[in-house]
Structure 1
Amino acid sequence: MTDLPLLGVAIPTTTLETLQDFILSENRDLEIQDFCDADLLNGDWKTVADHARTLLTGYTGRLGIHGPFWGLNIASPDTEMRALNRRKHLQGIEVCEHLGATQMVIHSPYTTWSYNNLDNAPERKEYDRLLENCHDTMDEVVKRAEDCGVTMVIENIEDIDPDIRCALADSFSSPAMAVSIDTGHAHYAHGTNGAAPVDYYVRRAANRLQHIHLQDADGYADRHWAIGEGTIRWESVFRALGEFDSNPRLILELRDKAGILPSVAYLQSLGLAR
Structure 2
Amino acid sequence: MANPLPVIGACLPVPDLELHRQWLFEMDRDIELQSFHMADVLDGDWQELADHANRVLDGHNGRIGIHGPFWGFTVHSMDPAIRRVVENRMMQGLDVCDAVNATLMVIHSPYTTWDHNNLDNVPGSRDRVIEYTHDTLAKVVKRAEDQGVVLALENIMDVEPALRRALVDTFDSNALQLSVDTGHAQLAHGSSGAHPVDYFIQDAGKQLAHVHLQDADGYADRHWAIGEGNILWPSVFRAIAALDHAPRLLLELRDNTRIGQSMDYLQRLELAR
Q: TM-score, normalised by structure 2?
A: 0.98
Aligned partners of 2:228 and 2:129: how far apart in 1?
Answer: 37
Give the CA RMSD over aligned residues: 1.1
The aligned counterpart of 1:231 is 230
The aligned counterpart of 2:60 is 59
1:1-274 aligned within 5 A: 3-122=4-123, 125-274=124-273
Partner SS, residue 159 of structure 1: coil
Aligned pair count? 272
- Shift of residue 246 of structure 1? 2.5
Partner SS, residue 210 of structure 2: strand
Aligned partners of 1:121 and 1:67: how far apart in 2?
Answer: 31
Partner SS, residue 31 of structure 1: strand
Aligned partners of 1:94 and 1:13: how far apart in 2?
Answer: 17
- Shift of residue 121 of structure 1? 3.3
Q: Deviations over 1:129-149 (max 9, x none)?
A: 110000000000001100100
Unaligned runs of 5+ in 2: none
Aligned partners of 1:229 and 1:21: how far apart in 2?
Answer: 25
Partner SS, residue 141 of structure 2: helix
Partner SS, residue 249 of structure 2: strand
Q: Which deviates further from its counterpart, 111-120 or 63-72?
A: 111-120
Unaligned runs of 5+ in 1: none
Aligned partners of 2:60 and 2:167: how far apart in 1?
Answer: 33
Please tell me whether the aligned partners of residues 208 and 246 of structure 1 are also in contact (alpha carbons under 8 angstroms).
Answer: no
Partner SS, residue 220 of structure 1: coil
Partner SS, residue 28 of structure 1: coil
Aligned partners of 2:269 and 2:27: how far apart in 1?
Answer: 20
- Shift of residue 217 of structure 1? 0.4
- Shift of residue 81 of structure 1? 0.4
Aligned partners of 1:54 and 1:68: how far apart in 2?
Answer: 23
- Shift of residue 2 of structure 1? 9.0
- Shift of residue 98 of structure 1? 1.3
Q: Which runs of 4+ in 1 moved over 2 A?
A: none
Aligned partners of 2:4 and 2:128: how far apart in 1?
Answer: 45
Aligned partners of 1:117 and 1:69: how far apart in 2?
Answer: 23
Q: Deviations over 1:222-245 (max 9, x none)?
A: 000000000000000001111111
Q: Which amino acid aligns with 2:102?
A: A
Q: Which amino acid aligns with 2:194?
A: A
- Shift of residue 114 of structure 1? 0.5
Q: TM-score, normalised by structure 1?
A: 0.98
- Shift of residue 17 of structure 1? 1.5
